[in-house]
Amino acid sequence: MRPYRCTAFVLCSLLLIGTLQAAEFERLPFYEHLHRNPELSFQERETAALLAKTWREAGFEVTEGVGGYGVVGVLSNGDGPMVMLRMDTDGLPVKEQTGLPYASERRGLEQTGQEVDVMHACGHDVHMTVGTETALNLARDRDAWRGTLMVIAQPAEERGAGARAMLADGLYERFGVPDYNLSLHTLATLPAGQIGFVSGWMLANVDSVDIQLKGIGGHGAYPHNAKDPIVLAASIIMDLQTLVSREIHPIEPAVITVGSIHAGTKHNIIPDAAALQLTVRSYSDATRDTLLKGIERIAINNAKAMGFSDDLLPEVGVKDEYTPALWNDPDLVARGVASMRAAIGEDNVIEVSKEMGGEDFSRYGRTEEKVPGFMIRLGVVPEAKWQAYQRGEMNLPSLHSPFFAPDPELSIDTGVRAMTAMVLDLLAP
């Protein structure tokens, strides 16, 4: 790992972080506007327009419509590395129940055509506010750094599709290949004022798998005249767990969860079809391959063992919306952690556990350029709730919960200081 460079420039830059707050940028009104007005994946039109306008006014060269409603802002400031700062923009189909005065009352149409309530239940409003304020601070104090800052507003993270869309639309070819990629994500189990980090694997491969089962329907009293897809589904569900318990190394993370099963209409009717929906999680590509191949093998061979004919064998499909596992470059992590600790305090930057959730920020480091990336975890739990949780008096709302309500002022301030510190170090003259 590269040692942290404690130079006079860096020390002066860290002192600047506390004075770079934008007089014209009011973080809480900006955050509250974003929170009130979330937009679903692939529909982030108003959000993208606001970010584009704000960055353009700060001096960034802004391009809209990259990979859908993606926005790219580039600020060149002499010779030096390029740092990409990524933020995600989409909300979730969740009805907010926080009771906040700026709670979302927005509704939207899902891709299915269903009308739903919409909420920033994953902290993307925090991400956008931190990223924008950091960018504006750096744009205003260009004497403190040299190089190029690229900020991107990425759509459709919740669908695992936005990063892929922006890369496919020529993100690196059109705007340059960064030397470093930085991002952050809220953490619902860490108090506001603290930053969490993971070196190496942090978040998992995420695959969605559909299994369509075919059978022969009949009367529930005469099962010998039918081929029951529900019994087949039950057998498949139980056998799938042996993939994790008996085919994957015990210390290698892997998860198979059947999140949905649909079949039948009435007590005494054996249906002629059933459908399963699975989420599959892993870290290594080898483990992912084993799980996906094993799911198909178990589904088909269970059907054969139950006497289903070849024309009734299950169909297994893996969704294209695959999210690769997120790897934080250890050298970049060590350098970033040192910068953040100097900026916000040694005790406020702590190592946290890796998780089996997914984040498509990982794709920006999976291209042939292999750009080193680092996503930090931003604590957002208000102090009163954190203390009550520590006393065992309440559970903390998770990400994607209708009750998820960050402490915006302290969370955003901490995120801005941390991100600014890392960028200033990476772009030191």
Q: How many CB atoms lie within 10 A of CB 360?
A: 29
- Residue pair 72/171 in contact by the 8 Å Cβ criterion: yes
d(CA 174, CA 152): 13
Burial label for 24, CB within 10 Å (0-12, 13-18, 19+), is exposed
Is 157 among the residues known to form the active site?
yes
Backbone φ and ψ of 191, nearest 5°: -70, 150
Residues in the chain, total:
429
Q: Which of 90, 117, 158, 228 is catalytic?
A: 90
**Cβ neighbours of residue 235 closer than 8 Å, sequence gap 6 or more:** 302, 306
Q: Which amino acid is at 172?
A: Y
Strands 195-197 and 373-381: antiparallel
Tokens (6 digits) for 315: 């169909």
d(CA 405, CA 149): 30
- Residue pair 412/371 in contact by the 8 Å Cβ criterion: no
DSSP notation for 325-377? PEEE-HHHHHHHHHHHHHHH-GGGEEE----S---GGGGGGSSTT---EEEEE
Q: Which of 88, 96, 125, 157 is catalytic?
A: 157
- Residue pair 183/361 in contact by the 8 Å Cβ criterion: yes
Q: How many CB atoms lie within 10 A of CB 95?
A: 14
Quick check: helix, strand or coil at residue 75? Answer: strand
**Enclosing H/E stretch for 4:** none
d(CA 335, CA 422): 8
- Residue pair 423/149 in contact by the 8 Å Cβ criterion: yes
Please give the DSSP secondary-structure letter assigned to residue 126.
H
- Residue pair 155/41 in contact by the 8 Å Cβ criterion: yes
Identify how many contiguous H helices and E strands the chain contains and give both numbers: 11, 18
d(CA 96, CA 8): 47
Active site residues: 90, 157
